[in-house]
Amino acid sequence: MCSGRVDLAFVLRAFLNGMDGVFIGGCRLNECNYVTHGNYRALNMVLLCKRIMEHIGLNPERLSIEFMTSGEGIRFAQLMNMFGKKIKGLGPLGKAEGISENELKSKLEEVRKLIPYIKIVEREKLESRLENEEEYEGYFTREEIESLFREVPSYYIDPEKCQACMICLRKCPAEAVIGGKNLIHVIDQDKCIKCGTCFESCPPRFAAVKKITGEPAPPPIPEEQRTIVRKSKKTSKRTSAA
């Protein structure tokens, strides 16, 4: 499998499942076997993930990426032995960093939930090619990651503008939009992954979905108030005639 297919979600899942370290091996840079050069993307993902790990209090040395050919079996064995010793020296994940099991799980779950949002914000950097190792250290800065998490948006459907067209409901990849025919839609904030699909898919003539940054989304209107009462054509004509 191309190392470029190793998603940020895979790394977080490994840590959530109790792994103390994650090692990723890829083809040498500029020697891609699939002509996709996905190893550059894997490198960028690792650099980003390391900064995120720092942000939530984990030692970034628990994640490593190395590049080699399929014929370098001895080097691979050496790298794995070195990485295994390093992880053993670091100790159990979370415990060595002074983070409780529940707190660690909560932090990792929060980051995993934000992966679509993180990918959208950092898309350009994730798709770039770093030719020199000197660029690795400062490619993603601590300040950048702090800003990334500080400015996480929320999405809210304005009940005064929603026309229950069900477009955002059908397109939401997380099934976070609740609604139905003639029912004002609401967003389940616990399920929302901040991808912005609802915001982008809402017809401009309605503009019902609002993007909110720096403050929580307003609470949804009560279920009993979500029914839209539409006037029939006959009623409209009678009203006009009167």
Residues 22 and 95 in one domain: yes
Are residues 118 and 191 located together in one domain of the fold?
A: no
Is 42 within the bounds of a domain?
Answer: yes
Instruction: Say yes or no: 110 and 44 in one domain.
Output: yes
Pick from 41, 40, 54, 22: nearest CA to 144: 54
Residues 88 and 203 in one domain: no
- 19-75 residue pLDDT tens: 999 999 999 998 887 778 889 999 999 999 999 999 999 999 999 999 998 899 999
Is the domain of 26 the same as that of 137?
yes
Domain count of the fold of the chain: 2
Q: Are residues 190 and 207 in the same domain?
A: yes
pTM confidence score: 0.83
Whether 230 is in a domain gets the answer no
- Which residues form the domain of 202? 153-225
| Crossing angle of the two packed helices 101-113 and 8-16, in degrees rounded to 10 | 160
Kindly report, residue by residue over 80-92, the tens digit of the pLDDT.
Answer: 999 999 999 999 9
In this structure, are 11 and 83 located in the same domain? yes
Angle at 12 between CA 28 and CA 170, to 5 degrees: 105
* In a domain? residue 241: no
CA–CA gap between residue 242 and residue 223 (Å, rounded): 34
Q: Is residue 233 part of a domain?
A: no
In a domain, 170, yes or no: yes
Instruction: State how far the alpha carbon of 167 is from the alpha carbons of 16, 29, 113, 116, 180, in Å.
Output: 34, 43, 23, 20, 10
pLDDT band at 242; cut points 50, 70, 90: very low
Residues 70 and 114 in one domain: yes
Which of 123, 150, 177 is the last residue before a domain boundary? 150
pLDDT at 238: 32
Domain shared by 128 and 192, yes or no: no
What value does the mean pLDDT take over residues 200-224? Answer: 94
Residues 158 and 145 in one domain: no
